[in-house]
Structure 1
Amino acid sequence: MSDTIKVKANKRPKYAGQRHRGPGGPGLGGSGEKAANFGVSLKRLVRYLRPQRNWIVAALCLGVLSVALSVVGPKILGRATNLLLAGAIGGQMPSGITKEQAIDALIAQGNGDMADMLRSMDFTPGQGIDFHAVGVVLIVVLALYVVSFGFSYAQGWILNGAVQKTIFQIRQRVSEKLDRLPLSYFDKQARGEVLSRVTNDIDNVSQTLQQTMSQLLNSLLTVIGVLVMMFWISPTLALIALLTVPIAMIVTTVIGKRSQKLFAQNWKSTGELNAQIEEAFTGHSLVKVFGRQREVEEEFGRRNQELYKAGFGAQFISGIIMPVMFLVGNLNYVVIAVVGGLRVASGTMSIGDVQAFIQYSRQFTQPLTTVASMANILQSGVASAERVFELLDADEMSSEPEGHLPKEIAGRVSFEGVDFSYTPDRPLIRNLNLTAQPGQTVAIVGPTGAGKTTLVNLIMRFYDLNGGRITMDGVDVASVPRSAVRSEVGMVLQDTWLFGGTIRDNIAYGRLDATDEEIVAASKATFVDRFVHSLPDGYDTVIDEEGSNVSAGEKQLITIARAFLADPSLLILDEATSSVDTRTELLLQKAMAALRAGRTSFVIAHRLSTIRDADLILVMEEGSIVEQGNHQQLLDAKGAYYNLYQSQFAGAIED
């Protein structure tokens, strides 16, 4: 059997919905309490775009071409306005005279202002509107705008591909990171909070990049192109238009700083609300049983109110940017229109140039407004990116060594001076020494919290030791990859590990290349076959993620069948029969005996009747082994095991 397949037999699929809850409990964690440096996070996000830089450069070139063609349009369109006006004026004048003579005649009549305005116009007295020339200009402008649209469309298509490839890379890194995170990380994080970072926050980053990159790029190019054209037409009016830039920067900076923290709080509150909802729905039956609907609703209401306040504040403050920029743009428009009109009246500018400049002023303030309006989207996206980066920066498991286990595992497991604690200030296991011989069944008993499950978790290398070592056939398990250790171990826990799929799929997860005959044989050996035939679709019955359409005992039988099919070298049973009835338990004991034959097995049990035949029984208290021996030896010693046994079969022990 390959290592990969065996590892999967012992690990729950990521989509299966449940997670390990260690001693630390499902805390909400402290990430996202305050926003990290906006500039640093933004630069880090931009660095993820580096692999797509060639495509981005191509998009930039297309953007330059698109903007260049679009900004030339108003200038050429001004030519059409001049032709129309010149034709209208020329048609009202007598033919046979020159432009200069017509202007001198106006001055002689006392119309000096009109004469000054007509000096900047190219008209011929007696000649009306040249519609052919006007049509040519309009066709040229239309062609420019169509080609500009084509370049813009191609630019958007390329940028969209670059963004989606970048988000694909981020999702891939997050997925790989989750595989490298130690179990202790998930002990301290609410599952809904982690899911929110992986789904909501990454989606928000995707939308932010999608919306901002194209618009910001085009806006910046448009500002540059329009400025060039404005300075070409009138440096004076261009300087007036430039007054908008510092105002826009001040407004964006002042409002952006205030909204940044609110956006960070918004996404933090979103993660906490998701965690609360996920927990409430997962434990829906428990909530109903204990009548805690009101408390759950109150908790939801409180967190929902926090999210509302953060979201409303962030959107409201950042939303102020748009109307302020519109006000600045309108004031700029009025000033340019007044100054431009005066210059037309003085004859220093043509009306077509003023018309083009007014269009450019709109084109100039619009991208500034767009950039300002993108600030709230960018703040939100960077706040989400910070939360994703916090996950990517979390401490990983120790690096995988290069060692390897023997090809044939006999199953000798030794604990040599093992020290371990979940938190530094609370030691749990101290100087533990233990040897399980090949083929032995080692039972571990003791009160709740004594460290029984911790012991098997250490064998699986779910946690790293604080001191000492654990060996398998003389090889330190810390000197070989975790996958190599876990591929040799079959595990059945009290909490059932089922995922959405058929019963056949859930059993076959123990060995993906198993044939239908082997699946049925494993099912018969573990008594799954008995109840499967009572289901409408048999082995093709679909189990939902919570396994609500089969009983708790049936779910446990399926997990036992999965381990049976995996055929591991080492077996760990953690209260594996706790959910089945007494009759089925007796039958399973026979199946377990066959499964344990020739394998080293660790069995954690509270019902001492299930481990009477164990080769070695360990009694643990507060992380230490206080007694060890077989069933009869421990009863004769009349120690901790004797008291546990009497409490189950001879009545309660008096305080």
Structure 2
Amino acid sequence: MNNIKSKKSIIRRLFKNILEFYPVMFPVAVLCILFNAAISSIPAIFMQNVIALIENNWQTGDWNAVGERILSLVAILATFYVLSLLSGIAYNQLMAIITQGTLKKFRGKMFAKMQTLPIKYVDTHNHGDVMSVYTNDIDTLRQMISQSFPQLLLSSISVLTVFAIMVYYCMWLTIVVLIGVTIMFFVTKKVGGGSARYFIKQQKALGHMEGFIEEMMNGQKVIKVFCHENESKADFDKINEALFNDAKTANRYANILAPILNNIGNVLYVFVAIIGGVLLVTNVPNLSISGLAMGISIVVPFLNMTRQFVGNINQVSQQINAVVMGLAGAQRIYDLVDEESEQDNGYVTLVNVREENGQLVECEKRTGIWAWKHPHSSDGSVTYTKLTGDVRLHEVDFEYEPGKTILHDISLYAKPGQKVAFVGATGAGKTTITNLLNRFYDIADGKIRYDGININKIKKSDLRRSIGMVLQDTNLFTGTVIDNIRYGKLDATDEECIEAAKLAGADDFIRRLPDGYQTMLTENGANLSQGQRQLISIARAAVADPPVMILDEATSSIDTRTEAIVQRGMDALMEGRTVFVIAHRLSTVKNSNVIIVLDQGRIIERGNHEDLIAQKGQYYQLYTGAFELE
């Protein structure tokens, strides 16, 4: 019952959306479909009238008058057929526009929603499965809106119209047809229900397979390095086999339905012919609204109406699977659209200011001086706090899942211009701390203050605008090199981007590219080395010119020679900024103001390089071990 209610709610919501998108065009298309369906029943009335004319004038009729009457009926029928043709062309054209327009708007809604989702969603959902919503599920929706819905409406109206004509002409034969249709209904419910269930499983299996393929494409180098090709093929074969089984079962159900219904229709046609003949021979009084006597003019059109009636029932049954798949696709689309957006209750914003008589004054023009604009609801006043990059964590606890604490009682501070390094084994909580600074996740307990302001009060977009990040995994986008650098600051001039590249040590190799800064990058910069991609990423952070920088293994993918070049640029980049560094190469953190050693989410040591070496604790062991390895 809940499943039925769910499908009904999806249908209501879908057509409500279509009406919102096309408030005039969609009703016009529906009217054209209704008109086309109603006209499809006209031939039965035409045939009855023609046969009745001939039957009534067989012995003594005026054939000239009969011929004129038949010609007038043909003219009327031709007119209706022309109108049917026009309405058919109209609704097909309108539905093409409505379908593609609706899909365009849904894709826009989904992509807009994706931009508002928290990082947690990206971390916990298979990327290939999400892509499947944009491709496979959208395609099933296209088929349902453009083909299944018009065909269902057309066939349903035709069924109702033909049924009304049947009842009007002969109740006896209508009862025979209804018995056959009842049998068809139960067969459709039994077989169609099974196929619908497997078509939904097929959609899910398809999403799973696309996710696996994406994962394998991203990891091709790793697969080849470890000679894992055969194992990858074996894993893919299992997923492909599961998809095959679901698709095979679904299509087997679907393909067996049409022949069964066709044969039931053929048997029904024969029964109508036999019972009609019996009624003619036995002179049974015709039970009908029309008051017409039972005759050839009733039986012959009734046979054609039976075939038309059964054909439309068959058309409806064939669309069931497409409708179910479309609804399953719509459900997945709405699941994405309905995902809870990232919550942001911050009200402190980042603004440009200038100094006048020792006071900070907000202004529109970029001055190079930023301040936190802090409105106070208690008295309506507004205070401005200069952005300096003072970051402090007080007794912070964090857990990704309730009951599984990742960080325990983390307290630290970074004064403006200081460099703080995080050291520890994988999983110690280093990257988690930087995620909390950006509010990709919110803390379970404690406080994080930025320039003395609780970061929960700062709007997330303004908070993140003040923090630059260089990650270990570099992401470059399709576009020119200079566009990728400008990603850090969209209104940056070409000169600013070039200066940022020089600061990062990227200018030299960029100028040696085929088109220099205008060289197009595709597929995450596949035509560049890993080190070159990282240099562009560092330049992107440099052009943003933030007061706080987070460097998460920023030089991990760069060779020793390049690292020396980058390190000089990084030192220039870090000058005057608060910097948080995560590094496994301990040589890169020696000059940090404070080094924090983490173990299983707890701070176990802190101090500068000389202090920690003197303590001969875990940092000493890590450093000397790394030194011996080098």
- Give the TM bin, normalised by the shorter chain: 0.7 to 0.9
Report the CA distance between 1:586 and its aligned residue.
Answer: 2.0
**1:190 match:** 126
> Which of the numbers 595, 598, 616 marks the counterpart of 2:576?
598
With over 3 angstroms needed to count, the CA separation of the structure-2 counterparts of 1:558 and 1:302, relative to structure 1, is: same
Q: Distance in 1 between matches of 2:521 and 2:2?
A: 43
Output the amino acid matched with 1:138.
V
Asked if the contact 1:319–1:376 (Cα under 8 Å) also holds between the matched residues in 2, the reply is no
SS at match of 1:422: strand
> Which of the numbers 58, 61, 73 marks the counterpart of 2:28?
58
> Which of the numbers 506, 516, 521 marks the counterpart of 2:484?
506
Report the CA distance between 1:264 and its aligned residue.
Answer: 2.2
Report the CA distance between 1:640 and its aligned residue.
Answer: 2.2
Asked if the contact 1:248–1:372 (Cα under 8 Å) also holds between the matched residues in 2, the reply is no
- Alignment TM-score, normalising by the size of structure 2: 0.87
Asked if the contact 2:503–2:573 (Cα under 8 Å) also holds between the matched residues in 1, the reply is no
**2:434 match:** 456
**1:467 match:** 445
Q: Which moved more, 1:435-444 or 1:419-428?
A: 419-428
> Which of the numbers 559, 580, 588 marks the counterpart of 1:581?
559
Q: Deviations over 1:621-642 (max 9, x none)?
A: 1112222222222222222222
Q: Which moved more, 1:268-277 or 1:242-251?
A: 242-251
**1:40 match:** 6
Matches within 5 A, 1:379-418: 379-405=324-350, 406=372, 408-418=386-396
After TM superposition, which residue ranges in structure 1, 4 or more long, deviate above 6 angstroms?
none
Q: Distance in 1 between matches of 2:536 and 2:207?
A: 34
Matches within 5 A, 1:268-283: 268-283=204-219
With over 3 angstroms needed to count, the CA separation of the structure-2 counterparts of 1:74 and 1:522, relative to structure 1, is: same
Matches within 5 A, 1:498-647: 498-647=476-625
Asked if the contact 2:117–2:341 (Cα under 8 Å) also holds between the matched residues in 1, the reply is yes
Q: Distance in 1 between matches of 2:15 and 2:91?
A: 16
Asked if the contact 2:407–2:600 (Cα under 8 Å) also holds between the matched residues in 1, the reply is yes
Asked if the contact 2:10–2:327 (Cα under 8 Å) also holds between the matched residues in 1, the reply is no
Q: Distance in 2 between matches of 1:517 and 1:180?
A: 32
Asked if the contact 2:396–2:410 (Cα under 8 Å) also holds between the matched residues in 1, the reply is yes
Matches within 5 A, 1:28-107: 37-53=3-19, 54-55=23-24, 56-83=26-53, 89-90=58-59, 99=60
With over 3 angstroms needed to count, the CA separation of the structure-2 counterparts of 1:581 and 1:618, relative to structure 1, is: same
**2:165 match:** 229
With over 3 angstroms needed to count, the CA separation of the structure-2 counterparts of 1:578 and 1:623, relative to structure 1, is: same
Q: Deviations over 1:156-198 (max 9, x none)?
A: 3344444444434433332233233332233232221221123
Matches within 5 A, 1:481-500: 481-500=459-478
Q: Bigger relative contact order, structure 1 or 2, given CA contacts below 8 A and separation 6+? A: 1
Report the CA distance between 1:453 and its aligned residue.
Answer: 0.9
Q: Distance in 2 between matches of 1:510 and 1:433?
A: 30
Matched, 1:319 2:255: yes
Asked if the contact 1:83–1:129 (Cα under 8 Å) also holds between the matched residues in 2, the reply is no
Matched, 1:370 2:315: yes
- Alignment TM-score, normalising by the size of structure 1: 0.84
Q: Deviations over 1:249-286 (max 9, x none)?
A: 21222223322331222112111111111111111111
Asked if the contact 1:553–1:580 (Cα under 8 Å) also holds between the matched residues in 2, the reply is yes
Asked if the contact 2:39–2:81 (Cα under 8 Å) also holds between the matched residues in 1, the reply is yes
Q: Distance in 2 between matches of 1:601 and 1:342?
A: 97
Report the CA distance between 1:430 and its aligned residue.
Answer: 0.8
Q: How many residues align?
A: 584
Asked if the contact 1:184–1:463 (Cα under 8 Å) also holds between the matched residues in 2, the reply is yes
Report the CA distance between 1:401 and its aligned residue.
Answer: 3.3
Asked if the contact 1:42–1:382 (Cα under 8 Å) also holds between the matched residues in 2, the reply is no
Q: Distance in 2 between matches of 1:599 and 1:36?
A: 57
**2:354 match:** none
Asked if the contact 2:423–2:596 (Cα under 8 Å) also holds between the matched residues in 1, the reply is yes
Q: Distance in 1 between matches of 2:614 and 2:328?
A: 65
SS at match of 1:421: strand
**1:8 match:** none
**1:148 match:** 84
Q: Which moved more, 1:390-399 or 1:637-646?
A: 390-399
Q: Equivalent pairs: percent with the same residue?
A: 36
Q: Deviations over 1:396-441 (max 9, x none)?
A: 4334433435054111111111111223343221111111111211
With over 3 angstroms needed to count, the CA separation of the structure-2 counterparts of 1:398 and 1:198, relative to structure 1, is: same
Asked if the contact 2:140–2:322 (Cα under 8 Å) also holds between the matched residues in 1, the reply is no
SS at match of 1:535: coil
Which sections of structure 1, spanning at least 5 residues, go unmatched? 1-34, 91-98, 100-122
Asked if the contact 1:493–1:576 (Cα under 8 Å) also holds between the matched residues in 2, the reply is yes
Q: Which moved more, 1:511-520 or 1:277-286?
A: 511-520
> Which of the numbers 306, 329, 332 marks the counterpart of 2:268?
332
Q: Distance in 2 between matches of 1:38 and 1:544?
A: 46
Output the amino acid matched with 1:383.
A
Q: Distance in 1 between matches of 2:37 and 2:502?
A: 72
Matches within 5 A, 1:286-365: 286-343=222-279, 348-365=293-310
Asked if the contact 1:48–1:166 (Cα under 8 Å) also holds between the matched residues in 2, the reply is no
Asked if the contact 2:36–2:87 (Cα under 8 Å) also holds between the matched residues in 1, the reply is yes
Report the CA distance between 1:290 and its aligned residue.
Answer: 0.6
Q: Distance in 2 between matches of 1:548 and 1:154?
A: 48
Asked if the contact 1:252–1:375 (Cα under 8 Å) also holds between the matched residues in 2, the reply is no
Report the CA distance between 1:596 and its aligned residue.
Answer: 1.5
**1:23 match:** none
SS at match of 2:598: strand
**1:172 match:** 108
Q: Distance in 2 between matches of 1:242 and 1:568?
A: 76
With over 3 angstroms needed to count, the CA separation of the structure-2 counterparts of 1:402 and 1:239, relative to structure 1, is: farther
Asked if the contact 2:397–2:445 (Cα under 8 Å) also holds between the matched residues in 1, the reply is yes
